[in-house]
């Protein structure tokens, strides 16, 4: 989907998608180029594990290892993930693996930022929310694998769970595109743990003074292909919830 658009137009596409999410998908949303986003399905239920919280800041040495992908956003804001931009997400971050949240790192946060917000959505499932977090200390340079930083507030994702819900596309739906967005905010949002993601998305957009995006791809076929490869367990993973049917 995003590979059909130049990087400079991605912010506009993201804004449209998030606006559609904010309306609760009560109606189809026009993207402005003749296409429409479909309404969400009613079978989107909780299936995956949440991220835990750490009291220590991420170790830059840890964050800088094994993070090949980099997205470049507004004003030099950059974002790195354990996959190349537009690349394949390792199955261990999904319901086909351990389901732990990926490590992320960034740079170029504007001096005016009071906090950061992170939003991960499935562009192939009408903006289904996999992770949403606000109140991230702007002095941090990233998140460790399986952990959320102290002081950050995580909202309820579209699996109806707090924290990270890894990609879980059902067989036969093809490859899904997952958009990771980091926003630099110039105001602190007054929300509590488990906040309603759809209600807060417009507030994130309104307070954003800089955004960077990164895309990852995943399909059930990639998960099947990876079953012959041994995947090491995460030392920071919380309790695992047995995955059930999921649209994403």
Predicted confidence (pLDDT) per residue in 114-165, tens digit? 999 999 999 999 999 999 999 999 999 999 999 999 999 999 999 999 999 9
pTM of the predicted model, to two decimals? 0.67
**What does each C-alpha distance from 20 to 7, 16, 232 come to in angstroms?**
21, 6, 38
Strand order through the sheet with 142-143: 69-72, 78-81, 104-107, 142-143
Query: pLDDT tens digits for 158-215?
Result: 999 999 999 999 888 899 999 999 999 999 999 999 999 999 999 999 999 999 999 9
Distance CA 27, CA 241 (A): 32
Spatial neighbors of 91 by CB under 8 A, at least 6 apart, are 97, 218, 222, 223, 226, 231
- What pLDDT is attached to residue 162? 97
Q: What is the pLDDT of residues 66-80, one digit of tens each?
A: 345 677 777 789 999
Q: How many CB atoms lie within 10 A of CB 226?
A: 17
Between strands 52-54 and 147-149, the pairing is parallel
């Amino acid at each position: 989907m995003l590979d059909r658009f130049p990087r400079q137009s991605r912010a506009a596409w993201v804004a449209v998608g998030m606006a559609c999410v904010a309306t609760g998908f009560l109606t189809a949303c026009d993207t402005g180029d003749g296409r429409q986003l479909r309404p969400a399905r009613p079978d989107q239920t909780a299936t995956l594990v949440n991220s835990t919280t750490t009291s220590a800041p991420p170790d830059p040495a840890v964050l800088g290892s094994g993070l090949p992908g980099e997205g470049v956003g507004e004003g030099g804001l950059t974002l790195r993930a354990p996959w190349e931009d537009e690349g394949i997400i390792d199955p261990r971050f999904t319901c086909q693996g351990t389901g732990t949240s990926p490590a992320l790192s960034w740079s170029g946060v504007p001096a005016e930022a009071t906090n950061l917000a992170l939003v991960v959505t499935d562009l192939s499932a009408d903006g289904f929310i996999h992770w949403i977090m606000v109140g991230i200390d702007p002095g941090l340079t990233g998140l460790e694998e399986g952990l959320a930083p102290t002081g950050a507030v995580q909202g309820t994702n579209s699996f109806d769970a707090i924290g990270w819900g890894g990609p879980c596309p059902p067989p036969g739906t093809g490859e899904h595109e997952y958009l990771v967005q980091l926003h630099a905010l110039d105001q602190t949002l007054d929300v509590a743990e488990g906040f309603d993601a759809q209600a807060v998305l417009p507030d994130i957009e309104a307070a954003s003074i800089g955004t960077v995006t990164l895309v990852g791809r995943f399909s059930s076929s990639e998960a099947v292909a990876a079953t012959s490869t041994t995947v090491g367990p995460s030392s920071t993973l919380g309790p695992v919830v047995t995955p059930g049917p999921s649209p994403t």
